[in-house]
Amino acid sequence: MSLVRLKIKGISYSQTQNGAYALILNEVDGDRKLPIVIGAFEAQSIAIALEKEIKPPRPLTHDLFKNFSDRFQIIIKQVIIHKLVDGVFYSSIICERDKVEEIIDARTSDAIALALRFDAPIFTYKNILDKAGIFLKFSNKEEDENDDDSIVVDEILQEGETVEIESGAASQGYRELTLEELHKELDKAVANEDYEKAAKIRDEISKRK
């Protein structure tokens, strides 16, 4: 079976299901997306890895694993999403130490959080993408002034077909703050280890540069 390389498109949230997030993966050489439902902790860990400028005051669990692996010279070569059963994705982490390769079973969210920290590629099999991949239809509403739209995950969870783009209320509130106030809010969010909020504030700061 042929492998298809994936890249992270983004993370979205559910407005109706508390604590539900969707990690959106995009095939590198195509238009199909692979939405994977993940928990809040994993979503936060992945968001931190994506947002390079946010440095947690203490290592998160996946950062600790990275530090441990570096100390013992273990590298992650790649992650493969290898199975889909009843809507649940199964993944393998391909590791190497002293030129000996090992395959470790892992939850897909954990595997991707680690792949980001090791700069390791993410793959899935073509038959999985054929089965679960979708074409997301985005709608750009002229009346919506928010450029940092987020994909609402509820339609993925309910239908798995069409996803519309809506504006995030939280990021809209940040637009009213000055740069100085945003930096203070960013420092406060990082200190409180609220990395999801920190990532949104960082996005607003980046748009003003």
User: For residue 44, what pLDDT is reported?
Assistant: 86
Instruction: Give the number of other Cβ atoms within 10 Å of residue 21's Cβ.
Output: 23
User: Residue 74's closest CA among 51, 55, 53, 93?
Assistant: 93
Burial zone of 155 (CB within 10 Å; 0-12 exposed, 13-18 middle, 19+ buried)? middle
Helix 179-191 / helix 195-207 crossing angle, nearest 10 deg: 160
pTM of the model: 0.69
Q: Across the chain, what does the average pLDDT equal?
A: 78
Lowest mean pLDDT among 11-25, 32-46, 85-99, 112-126: 11-25
User: Residue 44's closest CA among 36, 31, 27, 56?
Assistant: 56
For residues 175 and 116, give the distance between their C-alpha atoms in angstroms, rounded to a whole number: 29
Contact 133, 84 (CB under 8 A): no
Please write the tens of the pLDDT for every residue from 41-92. Answer: 888 889 888 887 677 888 889 999 999 999 999 999 999 999 999 888 999 9
pLDDT bucket at 25, cuts 50 / 70 / 90:
very high
User: For residue 114, what pLDDT is reported?
Assistant: 96
Cα 38–Cα 111–Cα 68 angle in degrees, nearest 5 = 125
User: For residue 18, what pLDDT is reported?
Assistant: 60
What percent of the chain has pLDDT above 90?
A: 37
Instruction: Write the CA distances from 134 to 35, 36, 69, 76, 114, integer angstroms.
Output: 8, 11, 35, 28, 25
- Tokens of residue 95, six digits: 């590791």
For the chain, how many residues are written?
A: 209
